[in-house]
Amino acid sequence: MPAAASTLPAATVAAGRLPPWIRSRPPHGEYPRVRSIVDGQGLGTVCREARCPNLSECWSAGTATLMLLGTECSRRCSFCAVQTRWSRGVVDGTEPARVAAAVRSWGLRYVVLTQVCRDDLDDGGAALMARTVRTIRAESPGTRVELLVGDLGGSTPALSTLLDEGPDVLAHNLETVRRLSPEVRDRRAGYDRSLSVLREARARGAGDLVTKSSIMLGLGERPEELDESFADLRRSGVDLLTLGQYLRPSASHRPVDRFVPPEEFDELARTARSHGFAGVESGPMVRSSYRAQELYERATARHRS
């Protein structure tokens, strides 16, 4: 990807209707070094695969969200830019070592690891993710690890495999409100299954585990539906929440229903905080892993108090 290329979805840019508050920042600072490490280790990042509009900002600050289990997903959600392919059980066993080497090279104190959905694997890829956490901890023992996982096919043993490694944060995205979930997400996903994953993580995780979720706005949701989702997440024990604007990756993906203005994101953040979340990050450019370490520190400060 050219260093100066826009990270906003091409079809959205082409439409020429982006509001002024949606703008990506040009690369600077640590961007060349981060790109060199990612490319040198042959790593996938959700930053690139999902066409995140914050790629330049985060890479310039020396961070990236690393994608495990390849870069092709077994599911096809109407909002997602990641390529769909059934990988027939193929797993790259070198991935944990390469990811750990990148974390060590960056000197990261906090890393976010995410995954493509792997319904072709009995455990959804949990074993490889767990091995990656162990390898990072062995080589960079001071690094905090956040796992942003799929629903693992609803497998409790697979989730336990991950929790046994003691991640600092276990994140799983609700993505949207209950009414829209069947049409926005792949048919194998589900609103209640996602809540179950988060509830199980809270029940089975260590006492200091932080749980986290994310919702996209601009898909056609209503304010009262968002309020219901906030309540559902809190009842499931979720500590942290991010809210961001959905951007259409291409003309073949779900259209944007509307662009939510910044002041509405601010109001939704206040509503979410009133439900008792330890931390909320809300804004048009916010994504699941945006300023993840800062959000984590808010949760741990709440736990300490």
Measured distance CA(248)–CA(288) in Å, rounded: 16
pLDDT digits (tens, 9 = 90+) for 36-63: 877 888 877 767 666 777 677 776 666 6
Q: Is the pTM of this model over 0.75?
A: yes
Q: Where are the beta strands (DSSP E) in 42-192?
A: 44-45, 65-68, 72-73, 83-84, 110-115, 144-148, 169-171
| Structure tokens, 241 | 């929440």
Nearest alpha carbon to residue 125 among 82, 199, 67, 83? 67
Per-residue CA distances from 16 to 1, 7, 9, 13, 245 (Å): 22, 15, 11, 6, 17
Cβ(82)–Cβ(71) under 8 Å? yes
Q: Strands 44-45 and 65-68, how do they pair?
A: antiparallel
pLDDT of amino acid 305: 62
pLDDT of amino acid 173: 98
Tokens 């990072």 belong to residue: 136
Q: Residue 68 pairs with which residues in a beta bridge?
A: 115
| Structure tokens, 69 | 């289990």
pLDDT of amino acid 106: 87
Nearest alpha carbon to residue 31 among 65, 2, 58? 58
pLDDT of amino acid 56: 72
- Read off the DSSP letter of residue 213: E
Q: If you classify domain 10-304 with CATH, what class do you get?
A: alpha beta
Q: Which residues of the chain have pLDDT under 50?
A: 1-16
Give backbone dihedrals phi and psi of 111, rounded to 5 degrees, phi first.
Answer: -135, 140
Separation of CA 125 from chain center = 16
Q: Is 67 helix (H, G, I), strand (E, B) or coil?
A: strand
pLDDT of amino acid 20: 93
Give backbone dihedrals phi and psi of 194, rounded to 5 degrees, phi first.
Answer: -60, -45
What amino acid occupies position 58? Answer: C
Cβ(111)–Cβ(146) under 8 Å? yes
pLDDT of amino acid 11: 41
| Structure tokens, 161 | 């495999």
pLDDT of amino acid 2: 29
